[in-house]
């Protein structure tokens, strides 16, 4: 005799930046095991890969392609699924650098939003007729071993390569995905410094998770803490 099938509630989540909605089920015990195993390994790479796998597992829509959404959307999805599965209230603690006291806060994951830069130019012009079209960091980098194992400045350049959507000149438009990583790295190295500074500006003003904590410390000073990464909300290692 077969065991009964377990039914789950579902939730429709609007995914930024285009706000298209997809259906998701809650995390199950098997997803919790994935996260716990990754945490036990104490390897940040394992945890990031597990987060991507968990979100993908919970998708109930065959048209959902996790590798085509931006990284900040993946992190937002994980936050929403965690709230849907376990509860929206989480506790975080931070030490005030002025009075050295630890303050405890309760965060409502329902109120976590995406903060977009006031102004962001995706087209980086190299000359009047050539340049780059940048894209937001893709979610697939949470499962990209080469990128996740990189260190220092190498990490930045490998991230930039993964954010090159197109390269264009007067005659053609070249898709970034059609070229190998080393070819794109060489292209970046041959850019003039002024143009590359525009790339840096784009990369330093990416959309991110956002939640603001406000409190008054022991000296009476009003303080603000802005949570902008998954590590600000959860212990990932």
Q: Provide the number of structural domains found in the chain.
A: 2
Q: Is the peptide bond before 17 cis (omega within 30 degrees of 0)?
A: yes
pLDDT value, residue 237 = 47
* pTM for this predicted structure: 0.91
* CA atoms of 43 and 172, how far apart (whole Å): 42
Average pLDDT per 10 consecutive residues for the chain, totaling 237 residues: 87 93 95 91 86 96 94 96 94 93 94 91 93 96 90 93 96 95 95 95 95 95 94 73
The predicted-structure confidence for 98-110, as pLDDT tens digits, reads as follows 999 999 999 999 9
Residues 6 or more apart whose Cβ sits within 8 Å of residue 39: 47, 235, 236, 237
- Residues 196 and 139 placed together within one structural domain of the fold: yes
- Residues 62 and 171 placed together within one structural domain of the fold: no
In sequence order, what are the beta bridge partners of 72? none
Residue 129 located in a structural domain: yes
Pair 54, 170 in one domain: no
The residues facing 223 across adjacent strands are 215
Q: Same domain, yes or no, for 194 and 128?
A: yes
pLDDT of amino acid 236: 52
Q: Per the domain annotation, does 5 fall within a domain?
A: no
- 24 token code pair: 């998701």
Structural domain including 181 reads 123-203
Is residue 6 domain-resident? Answer: no
Q: Would you say 64 and 21 are in contact if contact means Cβ atoms under 8 Å apart? A: no
Mean pLDDT estimate for the chain: 93
pLDDT at 45: 86
Nearest to 52 by CA among 138, 115, 134: 138
């Amino acid at each position: 005799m077969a065991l009964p099938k377990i039914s789950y509630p579902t939730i429709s989540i609007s995914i930024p930046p285009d706000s298209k909605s997809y259906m998701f089920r809650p995390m199950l015990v098997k997803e919790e095991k994935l996260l716990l195993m990754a945490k036990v390994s104490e390897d940040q790479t394992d945890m990031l890969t597990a987060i991507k796998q968990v979100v993908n597992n919970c998708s109930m829509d065959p048209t959902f392609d996790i590798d085509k959404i931006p990284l900040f959307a993946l992190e937002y999805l994980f936050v929403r699924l965690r709230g849907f599965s376990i509860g929206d209230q989480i506790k975080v603690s931070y030490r005030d650098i002025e009075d050295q006291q630890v303050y405890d806060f309760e965060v409502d994951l329902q109120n976590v939003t995406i903060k977009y830069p006031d102004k962001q130019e995706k087209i980086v012009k190299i000359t009047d007729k050539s340049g780059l079209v940048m894209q937001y960091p893709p979610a697939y980098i949470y499962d990209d071993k080469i990128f996740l194992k990189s260190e220092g400045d190498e990490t930045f350049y490998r991230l930039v390569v993964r954010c090159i959507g197109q390269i264009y000149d007067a005659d053609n438009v070249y898709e970034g995905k059609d070229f190998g990583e080393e070819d794109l790295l060489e292209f970046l190295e041959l850019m003039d410094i002024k143009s590359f500074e525009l790339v840096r500006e784009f990369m330093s003003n990416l959309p991110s998770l956002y939640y603001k904590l406000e409190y008054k410390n022991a000296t009476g000073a009003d303080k603000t803490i802005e949570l902008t990464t998954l590590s600000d909300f959860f212990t990932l290692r």
